[in-house]
Amino acid sequence: MKFISVGFRHFRNLEETLLPTDARRVLLVGENGQGKTNFLEAVYTLCYGSSFRNVPLKNLCTHGESSATLSAAVEHDEGYRQTLSFSYTDKKRIIRIDGREVKDRKDLIYTVPCIIFSHDDIEFIRGTPEDRRRFFDQTMSMYDPLFFDDLRQYRLILKQRNKAIKEEYYALLPVYNEKMAHIGLRIQEKRKVMVQEFNEVFSPLYQQVSGSTSDLKIVYKPSWRNCESIEDIICRLENSFNQDKRMQTTVSGIHRDQFITMEHGSQFALTGSTGQMRLASLIFRVAQMNTFSTKSSRQPIILLDDVLLELDIEKRALFLHLLSGYSQAFFTFLPRESYFHDESESDSLAYTVSEGRFTPYE
C-alpha cells in the first residue's frame, strides 16, 4: 500500500500542488519551518481525518483562508487504487473515499493504516497516564475493530454516568454500572493480553538498539485491580459511590488504567536519561508497527518527523534496519543531515522543501 500522489489546497503553508509520491520511500529535505512537518500532517489527516498535532481543524487552513482541501490516490497491495479526499469548509469536515462521503471515521482508519514517529512520542515515557493509554488504545484499535467499538461505547457510558452524578440522577447509576462493567472488563482483559504481547517485541528491540541488557518493559496496572468478574466491578463501583459524589466524576474504571515503563524495578521516567527515553519512544513506535503487522498481516505507512537527529550513527543504522516492515515511509530531515547513502535508488523519491514548495532534491 502506498500513496501515489498527494494534493493540497490552502493547507497550512503548502503551495497548491499535486505531488507525486509513487515510491516506497519519500524523503523531504529542508530547514525547519519550511513545510516538511505540514506535509506529514497532510498525509496523516488523509489517513485519520484529523491532525496528529491535536489542533482545531480551522488551524489547518492557510493563514487568511477559511477552508482547506487535501486529496490523494492510494494503491493497495492487491493492486487496486482508491482516491481519498479531506476538506474543511464552513466549519465542517468532509471525508470521501472514491467520492463517497465517509460518515464514520472508523471506515477511514481501516483503509490506510498509518503510524507517525514524532518528537512528542517521548511523552509515552515521561508524560501523563492518558498519553500512554492513548498510545495503547490506538495500537489495539488499528487491528481490532471490536476493541475500537468497545472503547467508543465505554466513553459514551462514562460520559452519561458522570452527567448523572453531577445532576444527582443517582437512580440511573445501577444501569450505567452494569454497562460499564461488561464493556470495561472486556477492554481490561484485552489490555492485559496486549501488554504481554507488546513486551515480547518491545524489550528485545530496545536491547538490540541500545546495546544494553536492560529489562525495559511495560507494566499494566488496571484501575479495577483484582476485579475478575462483572459482579466484582459492579461492587467496586458501588463502594466508590460516595467518592464519586464528592469528586463529581467516576473515580475508577479503565479510563484510570496505567501503563508504566519500568526498568530494573524503577520507573524509567525517573531514572532514564533524555537520550534513553527518546530511544525508547522510537522503539514504542517500532513495536506498534510490528504488533499491527502481526495481527493484521498488513504493513503500515509510516511518517518520521526528524526523529533520528538525536541518535548517533550506530544507533541510527540499527534503528533504520528495524524499520523494514513498512509499505511506504515518509522521512523528513535537515540539509546535510542525510539518513541514507542511497537517496537516488529507484524506489525512492526526494524533494527539497522551501517555503511550502517542493522541488526535486539534487
pLDDT digits (tens, 9 = 90+) for 83-142: 999 999 989 999 999 999 998 888 888 899 999 999 999 999 999 999 999 999 999 999
Asked whether residue 287 falls in the same domain as residue 302, the answer is no
- 105 and 69 both lie in a single domain: yes
More confident residue, 231 or 310: 231
- Would residue 137 count as lying in a domain? yes
Domain contains 120 = no
Residue 122 is assigned to a structural domain of this protein: no
CB 10 within 8 A of CB 65: yes
Clarify whether residues 35 and 179 are in a common domain.
no
Distance, CA of 53 to CA of 74 (rounded, Å):
23
pLDDT value, residue 322: 84
Asked whether residue 121 is domain-assigned, the answer is no
What is the average pLDDT across 261-276?
A: 95
Are 282 and 309 in a shared domain?
no
The domain tally of the chain equals 2
Same domain for 269 and 204: yes
Q: Which of 248, 263, 294 is the last residue of a domain?
A: 294
Percentage of residues in the chain having pLDDT higher than 70: 98
Is there a single domain that holds both residue 318 and residue 172? no
One domain for residues 134 and 268: yes
Residue 118 lies in a domain: no
Check whether residue 140 and residue 282 sit in a common domain: yes
pLDDT digits (tens, 9 = 90+) for 171-185: 999 999 999 999 999
Q: Give the confidence band of 347 by pLDDT, cuts at 50, 70, 90.
A: confident
- Residue 245 has a pLDDT of 97
CATH number at residue 359: 3.40.50.300
Domain-located, residue 131: yes
Residue 345 pLDDT class (50, 70, 90 cuts): low
pLDDT of the residue at 141: 95
What is the predicted pLDDT for the residue at 319? 87
Q: Is residue 119 part of a domain?
A: no
What CATH number should be reported for the domain holding residue 266? 1.20.1050.90
> Exposed e or buried b for every residue in 135-170, given b needs 16+ CB within 10 A?
bbbebbbbbbeebbebbebbeebbebbbebbeeeee
Same domain, yes or no: 164 and 271 = yes
Domain that includes residue 54, residue range: 1-113+298-362
Does residue 5 carry a pLDDT above 90? Answer: yes
Which residue, of 243, 266, 294, is where some domain finishes?
294
Same domain (yes/no): 314, 257: no
Domain shared by 154 and 284, yes or no: yes
pLDDT at 108: 86
158 lies in some domain: yes
Query: Lowest-pLDDT range, 242-246, 250-254, 347-351?
Result: 347-351
Q: For the chain, give the longest Cα–Cα distance.
A: 70
Instruction: Return the residue matching grid coordinates 453531577.
Output: 166
pLDDT > 80? residue 340: no
What is the percentage of the chain residues whose pLDDT exceeds 90? 85
Q: What confidence score (pLDDT) does residue 332 get?
A: 93
pLDDT at 336: 77
Chain segment 42-68, per-residue pLDDT in tens: 999 999 999 999 899 999 999 999 999
User: Does one domain contain both 95 and 171?
Assistant: no
Question: Which of 278, 294, 310 corresponds to the end of one domain?
Answer: 294
Q: Is the pLDDT of residue 344 over 60?
A: no
Least confident range from 4-13, 67-76, 276-285, 308-317: namely 308-317
